[in-house]
Structure 1
Amino acid sequence: MWVFSSTCRCGVRRVIPSWVGATRMAASTGAITKDTPPNGRAAGKNVSGPKVNGRSRSETPSWHPGTATFSSLSDTTVTSKSTIATGTDGSSTSPRLPHHSQPLGFPLPEDEHACSVSLPTWSAVVGYEEGDPTTVQAMKCGYPRFVYHPYVLQLMEYVLETHGHPHEDCLVLPSANAAIRCRSFLQQAVENKPPRVDNALLEKIDGWPSGGGTGDYRNTDIRLVRVGAADVHAVIFPAETLAGTQAKSYWQHGGEVVSSRRAARCLHDLGVGLHSRITDGAWICHDMMPQSDTAPDYLRRQIARWAKVPSADSVFLAPSGMASIYTALRSARRYQMEKGPNATGGTSIVFGFPYLDTLKLCSRDELCPGGVEFFGHGDAQDLDSLERLLRTKGKNAVCAVFTEVPSNPLLQCPDLYRLRQLADEYDFLLVVDDTISNFLNINVLESGLADVICSSLTKLVSGRGDAMAGSVVTNPHTAGGRWMQRDLAQYYDETSHGGLYEGDACAMVQNSQDFVSRNAVINETSEALASWFQQHGDVEKVYYPKLVSTRDHYEAVRSGGYGGLMSVVLEPHMCQRTFYDALNVAKGPSLGTNFTLVCPYTLLAHYHELDFAMSYNVQPNLLRIAVGLEPLEVLQDKFEEAFTKSRLHPKLDI
């Protein structure tokens, strides 16, 4: 059974399996935000859950990586193709890829490295957000930036036992540079100490204390530790303080995470008992890559081909999609620092309603001292407002505009041509997050629109939902893109592959072998399903790039299909909760999986700031649908069954 730790010192919620044992690091399963002035730019509250007594180390968990179900699930046990063979009912021939609703808390997919978790009912989603003990005790995993994986928790326990003192907690990071940045963040957020070096410049200094990294540094209670395996480093800080919450904020918003594969390898190399068969998966990639290649190098070349840039020199890897956004933010701030007039690196702009952590990242003073301006509608009126702001601020006052093409969850597309004109006139970088569309469906580089694209490879590029990774692709066709390529080449940590673990890169190489064909299938199914929803009498609104008011902006950059993501709001005569409960597909966070995945997005992402979301037309009862590889007719049957079960009364024609 998975339980809350009774030894949590910060009172912040985290899911811990009893087999990991007592651990001291506090973590949150919900979104952690930082209060900002009530100006609509970054609303939110700090959220923490209750302490709940856990179970002893000797008790046997209900799910265990060493059981028959999971003993063979390691880096090396993926199939040769990610495409799923399905039967006439849409069920998968693979028992580990869920095409039906799964019990509460089950990993999605059924894999020890799963990046999603089953939340099969509306009440389960609410219980998850509110920290209901029954709900949380059923959780076997979670999205890795929101819930620490059991291997990560076990690794943090090891760090505290070997390097910590009583009343200390820790956070593990995937590289020395990430640990240095995290320490600087905590010193500012918790100790109110001004940074010795701006976080955007920390890669350029050694910054590592002498004496092995375990001694005090600059009269601070926040220390660095070299863990000694798999390039893992740790930040140690006082327990039962704000540091635990803030450390989790850094992990969540900055995305510099230690993956489950890296944690497992580290524990194995340290000789810590682990119920998992550990390999780096090198043999998986052997037949796919030249012998001289490493998996990260091969992956960079693949991405260069998909993104249509001439060289892998334009591609930089990261441990998650959010880490790629953070990488681009630091580079964009250095761009303005180099110009001279703005020591803070300039203001960031978030244009359009984005995935929540992009706005949270830019709103942290520790990470973006110049602040953030938020234009959440992303329409022509917001463009006019942005232009007025730029005219007031003047040239070189803004480091970057971050925008999604299309946006999550409303699938809106901004006018990139007008944003490009403003970027050229006021000399800032235009950063496009193409996670929802992906490399194959839009082209914003060859046209010279975006200076850089940031992507979460965790989604459709992987497809299996069992590996975390991100990428930054700079544009050789724009001056800003060429500058960022040179800048990242100087700052990028080649030895750590930007913080991406080689085992995860290898899993990504394996999973993405049929990315092109999977993308084509999902595009076709999604377009047909969205049209079916549009004509359905029980659906009030469909959000899909082809069907929203900003379609022309998407068509201007479209090079493939419309992608596999859509959102729907049901008619008033429908019970949204009953519909969600009755829907017989996998239900949980994330998207881009080979199996259809549905979630009440607004509740999961903005549960504690619903008014803020509603002010930008993101409704609480919105359902986000990430279409998988199931046949169209199978999905239609599943949705129709849920429609039938959730009608409160016949639709009234008024």
Structure 2
Amino acid sequence: MDSQWMPPKVPSALPLGKANIYPLDEPHAVSCSLPTWDSVFGFCRQEEWVMKHVEWNYPRFYINKPLRDLSTAVLHRLQITDENITCLLFASPLDAQQCIASFSKASPRKETCHFFIPGSNHWASFSAAIFSSDLIEEAMAFWWNTGSGLSTRHAAFCLQGFDNVASDSSNPDFQTSAPRQRDPDRPEDAAWMHSAATTMLDLKSFIAQLATSEKPGQLPASPDDVFLFPTGMNAIHTISKTLSYMETSPTVVAYGWLYPETVDVLRSGRWETVLSYKAGNDADLDALENLLKSGRRVHALFCELPSNVTLACPDIHRIRKLADQYGFIVACDNTVAGFFNIDILPYVDVVMTSLTKGFSGASNVTGGSLVINPTSPHHPKIHNVLSTTHTNTCFPLDIHTLLTNSTTLHQRTKTANENTLALLPLLTSHPAIKTVNHPSIHPTAGIYNSLRKTTTPATTNPETDGHYGNVLSMIFHNPSSAETFYNALDVNKGTSFGTNFTIAVPYVVLANFYTRSKVAAYGLPEHVIRVSVGVEDVSGILGRFVEALRVVEGDGGR
């Protein structure tokens, strides 16, 4: 597993705002260090004392420097000097147009402009949504929920060649010619551009291989069944939109505890009705089944297996039976467990995955995928709609990075699985900790066990070696103990999970900041801490957790 992206053997927290990435100071990081409880609150409130230190952060929630610099160049090129006018950048004209169309408020300034190299279908192209600054909250909501913003690598590349691009817009003032003509044979572009199609196919082929079921009677997934996206949320947004247009007056079910933005995508989409079953337990399934028996038509059900932060597994076997009986589509997010750990494809019609997390591991690129189950009766229609409506906006250098990072996926998954199982006894036996959530010990472990893969990753003892994933969450008896523990825990802390390095965050504060008082009713108090265990030396990981728990004990926590 020798790689420049592997962390040190002994984990340690980075300073406030530092990019959570190894080697340190590498560009395109997708995580920001939030080393204290107060810094997480400050980040959520966008307080200056935190934000002035932020180097890089998760691109859906933060406009990183390459995009800020390119936005400045755009406004300068278009001679926009009004400080009350700003812009967001997208890979396609359609995304920029949809951003503008999403605004509910009237504004004197809502325009788009496309930048391109004349006479060339070149990757140094992008589009800008230009609008009044008072619309920035709505614009950022679109940016968050669609995940369609320009990637940092794409922005850096476009900025490098910005003098070679022209612009076009319905506004004549925004129609400009390129200041300089581009050399068509620049050697620094040739290799990765010419191999872009091959790299894309290689990544699709690898994902298809990973997603293919071990169970008899299942067709193997092919690269043609795999669709790639610039972010995981863009994959979810796209499949939500696709499925909603396949039905008149469609109803969708959000089943179990879903990532908040997934629910936002469903609620902001074309779905006529969004039915929420947040508990995701037998009572919820009984209620759903009774609703279906009454004649209520459901077109699709979205779920996570296991759920991000609760680590619960919906009863996917029963959901599959209901889907077969009543004809609805099951779309499942497998990001937490990943392709190597569970065999989910036979029970769902669409698998949604954020490739930013464990698939990449390096914390230096975003990406997402959809896999359409080739055995699903809905496959022809879903595949046809996606094939005819989906436009690939993935930047080739991002695809190349994902493919390169994924070459160590097998060993990284195995190591992180084993490290997590080694950590669990320490946490579950500590008197200060009330609850530890992990698929191996969750009340729904029987469901998870029925889905565990048997052939990959190779293990010497399946009962101890894994397939359970590296994400857990923990709840202390005393909320103040959680704060003490988090502040004392000397590992990477901040946004994202599935990184090669161990990373922790008070999840509810970060993901449900403005609704955090409401989610406690679902077993998610404000002080729940999510931990994603990395591939560092297991003794180093255990040592850091032991040290933090000793601080809790010294502070009176028990």
Q: Choose from 271, 276, 281 the match for 2:163.
A: 271
Counterpart of 2:264 in structure 1 is 360
Q: Choose from 183, 186, 193 the match for 2:100.
A: 183
Counterpart of 1:534 in structure 2 is 428
For structure 2, the residue ranges without an aligned partner over 5 or more in a row are 118-123, 165-185, 213-219, 457-466
C-alpha contact 1:285 1:510 (8 A) present in aligned 2: no
**Residue 163 (1) aligns with residue 75 (2):** no
User: What amino acid sits opposite 1:516 in the alignment?
Assistant: H
C-alpha contact 1:106 1:140 (8 A) present in aligned 2: yes
Q: CA deviation at 1:634?
A: 1.3
**Residue 131 (1) aligns with residue 46 (2):** yes
Counterpart of 1:248 in structure 2 is 140
C-alpha contact 1:573 1:649 (8 A) present in aligned 2: no
Q: CA deviation at 1:139?
A: 1.6
The secondary structure found in structure 1 opposite 2:527 is coil
| Between 141-150 and 522-531, the greater mean CA deviation after superposition | 522-531
User: What amino acid sits opposite 1:377 in the alignment?
Assistant: A
Q: Write the distance in 2 (CA, Å) between the matches of 1:145 and 1:649.
A: 37
**Residue 317 (1) aligns with residue 225 (2):** no
Q: Write the distance in 2 (CA, Å) between the matches of 1:169 and 1:393.
A: 49
The secondary structure found in structure 1 opposite 2:155 is helix
Q: CA deviation at 1:349?
A: 1.5
The secondary structure found in structure 1 opposite 2:50 is helix
**Residue 491 (1) aligns with residue 403 (2):** no
Q: Write the distance in 2 (CA, Å) between the matches of 1:432 and 1:231.
A: 33
Q: Write the distance in 2 (CA, Å) between the matches of 1:137 and 1:616.
A: 35
C-alpha contact 1:598 1:624 (8 A) present in aligned 2: yes
User: What amino acid sits opposite 1:270 in the alignment?
Assistant: F
Paired residues in the alignment total: 508
Q: Write the distance in 2 (CA, Å) between the matches of 1:280 and 1:603.
A: 44
The secondary structure found in structure 2 opposite 1:127 is helix
The secondary structure found in structure 2 opposite 1:432 is strand
Which aligned pairs between 1:264-413 and structure 2 lie closer than 5 A? Answer: 264-271=156-163, 293-308=197-212, 309-336=220-247, 342=248, 344=249, 346-364=250-268, 367-392=269-294, 394-395=296-297, 398-413=298-313
Q: CA deviation at 1:279?
A: 9.8
The secondary structure found in structure 2 opposite 1:479 is coil
Counterpart of 1:436 in structure 2 is 336
TM-score by length of 1: 0.73
The secondary structure found in structure 2 opposite 1:224 is strand
Counterpart of 2:171 in structure 1 is none
Q: Write the distance in 2 (CA, Å) between the matches of 1:650 and 1:369.
A: 50
Q: Choose from 380, 399, 417 the match for 2:317.
A: 417
Q: Write the distance in 2 (CA, Å) between the matches of 1:279 and 1:113.
A: 23
Q: Write the distance in 2 (CA, Å) between the matches of 1:318 and 1:280.
A: 25
C-alpha contact 1:115 1:466 (8 A) present in aligned 2: yes
Q: Choose from 227, 241, 250 the match for 2:115.
A: 227
Q: Write the distance in 2 (CA, Å) between the matches of 1:513 and 1:283.
A: 20
Which aligned pairs between 1:465-484 and structure 2 lie closer than 5 A? Answer: 465-484=363-382
C-alpha contact 1:415 1:553 (8 A) present in aligned 2: yes
Q: CA deviation at 1:546?
A: 0.9
Provide Cα deviations, 1:538-589, integer angstroms capped at 9, x if missing partner: 3221100011111111112221601110001123397221211111100011
Provide Cα deviations, 1:221-250, integer angstroms capped at 9, x if missing partner: 53221122633112222x143x22111001
Q: Write the distance in 1 (CA, Å) between the matches of 2:234 and 2:4.
A: 25
**Residue 108 (1) aligns with residue 6 (2):** no
Which aligned pairs between 1:88-107 and structure 2 lie closer than 5 A? Answer: 90-91=9-10, 99-107=11-19
**Residue 121 (1) aligns with residue 36 (2):** yes
What is the identity percentage for the equivalent residue pairs of Structure 1 and Structure 2?
A: 29
Provide Cα deviations, 1:63-92, integer angstroms capped at 9, x if missing partner: xxxxxxxxxxxxxxxx97367375xxx24x
Q: CA deviation at 1:163?
A: 3.2
Q: CA deviation at 1:369?
A: 4.2
C-alpha contact 1:170 1:236 (8 A) present in aligned 2: yes
> Comparing both structures, which one devotes a greater share of its residues to helix?
2
Aligned residues: CA RMSD: 2.6
Q: CA deviation at 1:130?
A: 2.2
Q: Write the distance in 2 (CA, Å) between the matches of 1:404 and 1:164.
A: 46
Q: Write the distance in 2 (CA, Å) between the matches of 1:285 and 1:521.
A: 34
C-alpha contact 1:282 1:506 (8 A) present in aligned 2: no
Counterpart of 1:547 in structure 2 is 441
Q: Write the distance in 1 (CA, Å) between the matches of 2:44 and 2:338.
A: 29
Counterpart of 1:153 in structure 2 is 68
Q: CA deviation at 1:271?
A: 3.3
TM-score by length of 2: 0.86
The secondary structure found in structure 1 opposite 2:245 is helix
C-alpha contact 1:586 1:595 (8 A) present in aligned 2: yes
User: What amino acid sits opposite 2:94 in the alignment?
Assistant: N
Q: Write the distance in 1 (CA, Å) between the matches of 2:527 and 2:519.
A: 11
Q: Write the distance in 2 (CA, Å) between the matches of 1:651 and 1:631.
A: 28
C-alpha contact 1:348 1:400 (8 A) present in aligned 2: yes
The secondary structure found in structure 1 opposite 2:97 is helix
Q: Write the distance in 2 (CA, Å) between the matches of 1:327 and 1:371.
A: 18
For structure 1, the residue ranges without an aligned partner over 5 or more in a row are 1-78, 92-98, 193-219, 273-277, 337-341
User: What amino acid sits opposite 2:364 in the alignment?
Assistant: D
Q: Write the distance in 1 (CA, Å) between the matches of 2:78 and 2:339.
A: 43
Alignment CA distance shift 1:416-1:357 (3 Å): same
Provide Cα deviations, 1:18-54, integer angstroms capped at 9, x if missing partner: xxxxxxxxxxxxxxxxxxxxxxxxxxxxxxxxxxxxx
Provide Cα deviations, 1:189-244, integer angstroms capped at 9, x if missing partner: 3349xxxxxxxxxxxxxxxxxxxxxxxxxxx853221122633112222x143x22
Alignment CA distance shift 1:391-1:362 (3 Å): same
Alignment CA distance shift 1:487-1:101 (3 Å): same
Provide Cα deviations, 1:159-189, integer angstroms capped at 9, x if missing partner: 2222364443222111233223323323xx3
**Residue 452 (1) aligns with residue 354 (2):** no
Q: CA deviation at 1:282?
A: 7.9
Q: CA deviation at 1:106?
A: 0.3
Q: Choose from 154, 164, 168 the match for 1:262.
A: 154
Q: Write the distance in 1 (CA, Å) between the matches of 2:511 and 2:187.
A: 34
Alignment CA distance shift 1:164-1:83 (3 Å): closer
